[in-house]
Structure 1
């Protein structure tokens, strides 16, 4: 992967983060920060899922830490569909 691609990827990740962080409580945001350091690939999948849910109108409020943990469990199981309770 060349520098241009890495830069573009980083911009996309930052954009997803800016969307997703608005929909995480302080506790969930703290968990995301820890996850980003320990398991960056899972963190990216999580923010992508949250950003997608926001864009499709499936998420109108912030996820609690418990809900964020449930999302992470689903991601680790490898499930493709995530359901957000309204």
Structure 2
């Protein structure tokens, strides 16, 4: 094996190790995020009325990315003491407010 082949092989091994390390770090980060979301959900779920809980479940299935925003908003309200119980109408209001920021797209025609 020539010196060039040895260097290529060494570099390939280094790149493989680096890629494996990055995958492990990413998997660990995703696991931490999932754990934090589970903790947040455990804190928020008891505050939801049965109707709100059903709506939350529907949102969780249909729009997982929106679920995170809802959990964060409800978690903030709960921690600040602004809410004690979340009914279906309050959850609808929160959803409308969260979706307003995403829907305000202006298209100008020339």
Note whether the superposition's TM-score is higher than 0.5.
yes
> Residue 47 of structure 2: SS of its match in structure 1?
coil
| TM-score, length-scaled by structure 1 | 0.84
Greater than 3 Å deviation, 4+ residue runs? none
Give the corresponding residue for 1:84. Answer: none
**For 2:52 and 2:63, how far apart are their aligned partners in 1?**
15
Which stretches in structure 2 are left out of the alignment for 5+ residues?
1-22, 103-110
Q: Which runs of 5+ in 1 are unaligned?
A: 80-86
| 1:59 is the counterpart of 2:83 | yes
Shift of 1:13: 0.4
> Does residue 1:74 correspond to 2:97, yes or no?
yes
Q: How many residues align?
A: 78
Query: What SS does the corresponding residue of 1:22 show, helix, strand or coil?
Result: helix
Question: Which one has the bigger helix percentage?
Answer: 2
Q: Normalised by the size of structure 2, how large is the TM-score?
A: 0.67
Greater RCO (CA < 8 Å, at least 6 residues apart): 1
Q: Please give the root-mean-square deviation of Cα atoms over the aligned residues, in Å.
A: 1.4
Shift of 1:67: 1.1
